[in-house]
């Protein structure tokens, strides 16, 4: 009969994902789920709960961690930076062996990540120490960095600087859809987290210190700043196409009217290297196509009526 050192896990994340679904179905005992939230987003999470009630009744995928915790019968707690002391008390009462973090707003204080005997580990969606910070997905697409990857590391007092336990890289293609990119991270993240738990249980010390002098690059940006980060005069069409296939929606960088922003779902579908005699950044509509002009080509845009942009505006 196997005796496992790690019996009790507290999971911290921002939404229901493949990783928490699989951890709940693994041999590991998830004794608590913590949902990390930004401040002042009460209305958006109320809308999410209503949406998840419909999803639950129709037996579809839940998007909220609170809904997943309730459906799984696991104790649940909301985490905000302003309520970290309450979360600390709650976690102490649960007395977990380890904390597993997938994503969160803000940082765990030492008073929290030092509670479990095996500390806390985090999955970061970049090959550390590269793209250290809260927004790696955007900057990886922005820089057109095609060799990406994910890292599981020990949590310490500063962001994404703890010893690396596991890392796996993968090759991206130009225009890789964000959905495919995120699914790859779910696959890698689960694999690295499970391997880390096994190594910790086996008392293997395979962690590797990071170069903490590396400058954090993956900072958060505002939508207003986003437009200034695209150099229409210098960037080739494939770089702008790649960014639009990632975490940047065409409505974030193009001045569409209100109906197009709120009631149409936009997608960049393809690009070609034949430029039009128009200013870069201008949208040209014909009977057959909607084209975004770039300095050395065009990007084909597709739009369809959808309430999702309006819904996302309410919950994000």
Q: What is the pLDDT of residue 306?
A: 60
3-state secondary structure of 125: coil
For 204-227, what is each residue's pLDDT tens digit?
877 899 988 776 689 999 888 998
- Band the pLDDT of 202: cuts 50, 70, 90: confident
For 90-102, what is each residue's pLDDT tens digit?
999 999 999 999 9
For 105-135, what is each residue's pLDDT tens digit?
989 999 999 999 999 999 999 999 999 999 9
CATH of domain 8-201: 3.40.50.170
- Band the pLDDT of 16: cuts 50, 70, 90: confident
Reply yes or no on whether the pLDDT at 63 is more than 90: no
Q: What is the pLDDT of residue 15?
A: 86
- Band the pLDDT of 257: cuts 50, 70, 90: low
For 282-297, what is each residue's pLDDT tens digit?
999 888 899 999 999 9
Break the chain into its structural domains and give their ranges: 8-201, 223-315
Task: Compute φ and ψ for 91, nearest 5 degrees.
Answer: -70, -40
Percent of the chain with pLDDT over 70: 84
pTM reported for the whole predicted model: 0.89
| Whether the bond into 129 is cis, omega within 30 of 0 | yes
3-state secondary structure of 77: strand
Given a contact cutoff of 8 angstroms between Cβ atoms, the answer to whether 240 and 230 are in contact is: yes
Rg, Å, the chain Cα set: 21
Reply yes or no on whether the pLDDT at 59 is more than 70: no
* Angle, CA 123 vertex, CA 69 and CA 196 arms, to 5°: 95
């Amino acid at each position: 009969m196997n005796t496992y050192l790690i019996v009790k896990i507290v999971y911290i994340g921002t939404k229901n994902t493949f990783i928490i679904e699989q951890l709940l179905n693994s041999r590991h005992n998830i004794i608590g789920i913590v949902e990390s939230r930004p401040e002042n987003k009460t209305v958006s999470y109320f809308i999410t709960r209503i949406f998840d009630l419909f999803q639950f009744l129709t037996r579809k995928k839940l998007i909220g961690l609170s809904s997943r915790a309730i459906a799984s019968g696991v104790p649940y707690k909301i985490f905000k930076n302003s309520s970290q002391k309450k979360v600390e008390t709650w976690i102490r009462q649960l007395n977990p062996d380890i904390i597993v973090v997938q994503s969160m707003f803000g940082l765990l204080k030492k008073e929290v990540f030092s509670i479990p005997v095996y500390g806390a580990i985090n999955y970061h969606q970049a090959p550390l120490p590269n793209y250290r910070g809260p927004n790696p997905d955007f900057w990886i697409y922005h820089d057109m960095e095609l060799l990406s990857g994910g890292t599981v590391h020990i949590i310490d007092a500063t962001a994404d600087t703890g010893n690396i336990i596991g890392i796996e890289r993968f090759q991206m293609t130009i225009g890789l859809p964000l959905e495919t990119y995120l699914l790859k991270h779910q696959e890698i993240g689960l694999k690295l987290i499970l391997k880390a738990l096994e190594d910790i249980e086996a008392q293997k010390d395979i962690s590797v210190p990071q170069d903490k002098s590396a400058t954090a690059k993956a900072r958060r940006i505002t939508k207003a700043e986003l437009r200034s980060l695209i150099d229409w005069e210098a960037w080739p069409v494939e770089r702008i196409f790649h960014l639009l296939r990632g975490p940047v929606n065409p409505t974030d960088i193009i001045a569409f009217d209100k109906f197009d922003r709120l009631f149409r779902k936009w997608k960049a579908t393809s690009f070609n290297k034949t430029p039009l005699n128009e200013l870069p950044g201008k949208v040209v509509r014909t009977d057959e196509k909607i084209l975004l002009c770039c300095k050395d080509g065009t990007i084909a845009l597709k739009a369809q009526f959808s309430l999702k942009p309006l819904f996302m505006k309410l919950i994000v």
